[in-house]
Structures are given as C-alpha cells and as structure tokens.
Amino acid sequence: MNIVLLGYGKMGKVIERIAQSRGHNIVARIDVDNRQEFENLTASDVDAVIEFSHPASAYQNVKTCIEKGIPVVCGTTGWLEKKPELEALTLEKNSAFFWSSNYSIGVNLFFELNKTLARLMSPQKQYTVSTTEIHHTEKKDAPSGTAITIAEGIIENLDGKNKWISNELSKDNEVAIWSAREGKVPGTHIVKYISDIDQIEIAHIAHGREGFALGAVIAAEWIVGKKGVFGMKELLSIV
C-alpha cells in the first residue's frame, strides 16, 4: 500500500522502516519544510496517512486528510479538545479517522488491565490512587495522552473520581497524574494504589519506539477500505 508520513521526526523514521519491512511504499515524507507536497496529493495517490507530528499541527493535518477522503491514522497527542470536531467531520465526509494515544499493543492491553483493577479497588476506600508518566525530554506535551487515557479509565471505574489533575496533590474526587521528562525514556506509565499498610502497583515500560510504530502501521493496514471513527479497541476487538 502507498503511505504518506505526516511528521518525519524520530518516530516517523521508525514507522518508515517498519512500513517498508512489511512491503509498503512511502510516497511522501512531509514535514514543516515541504507541506505543499502533501497539499498536492489526492486520495488516488495514497492509501493511508500516518500522522505523528506536533500538537500545533495535528488538527489541520488530520482535517486535511478527512477532507481529501484519505484514511488517516493519528498518534499526535496534546490537541484532543478539537478531536470531537474532527470525528463529526469524518462522519459528515464519509471518511476514515483512526486515533490512539498509544499504538503499542502492550499499552492497550494495559489500558484494560487498569480498568479492571480500578473496578476491583472501587470498594476499597482505604487506598489512594495516582499515576506517573515518564518520557524523553523531547516530548512536547504533558501529561502524555497515554497517561490521560489511563486516568480516564480510572475515573470511569473507580467510584467518587470525576476529574484528573496534572502535577498537583489530589483531592478525594481527583486522580493525580505526575509527569517527568528524563533523558531518552521511550515511555513509562505507572498506576499506584497506596494505603497505610500496603501498595498495589501496575506498570508498562516501553523499551523503544518500535512497538508504537508497528501498531501505527498495523492500524494503517487495517483502516484501508473502512469508513468511520476508530481506535485500538476496534483494531484489537476489545469489547
């Protein structure tokens, strides 16, 4: 299949390598310096776009794909207040939009484990919950989209929680997300339940970018020929 990379940083280069290893053709590598090259492409030139750019660029990038009728797989976080608008546009244009805060298969299994643990912990009022995310110093947004997804999974399943907060001590109704930026850490996410007598902890630790990149390529393969708004739950058939 013919793939366009929107965003050609470190992640874009790993995606390129994995896509090519799976027999795909990269027809364009778009960054800030050659945006016009993408404007000139049409749906007949491209099977799917994989978008890993910057929070300031993601909205317009995805919007352009939807309007062109090109299936788009987006992994950029930090712009989600505008996501519902693009979901509505996708349905209006009968296009295809796939978004995930994290394309790692392991992380998406972790999301489900996190929800299950929250349900089990809900009656146990003696525990205080918090989450921690650690990423490389080049990551622009904080908290990470993955950390927000984890916090939202807790809120949905843990009685009494209705909001998350960033790098602040939490109140009874809040889930604290603590963010750190260190060296070249690909991504670490930890959920802790702490009481006076013990602590329960689950964690996902990425060893590199390859897991994220492979998931994005698999999503691009999966979305071709489909119409609608999708995420990893649909791809992995998680009910």
Choose, from 13, 115, 139, 192, the residue flagged as catalytic: 139
Q: Tell me how far CA of residue 48 lies from CA of 40, 124, 147, 168, in angstroms.
A: 15, 46, 27, 40
DSSP state of 204: E
Tell me, yes or no, if 68 is annotated catalytic: no
Give the Cα-Cα-Cα angle 5, 149, 65 (nearest 5 degrees): 30
Tell me, yes or no, if 207 is annotated catalytic: no
Amino acid at 208: G
Choose, from 24, 68, 135, 189, the residue flagged as catalytic: 135
Alpha-carbon gap, residue 148 to 166, rounded angstroms:
10
Alpha-carbon gap, residue 234 to 103, rounded angstroms:
12
Give the chain's end-to-end CA distance (angstroms, integer).
Answer: 29
User: Which residues are identified as catalytic?
Assistant: 135, 139
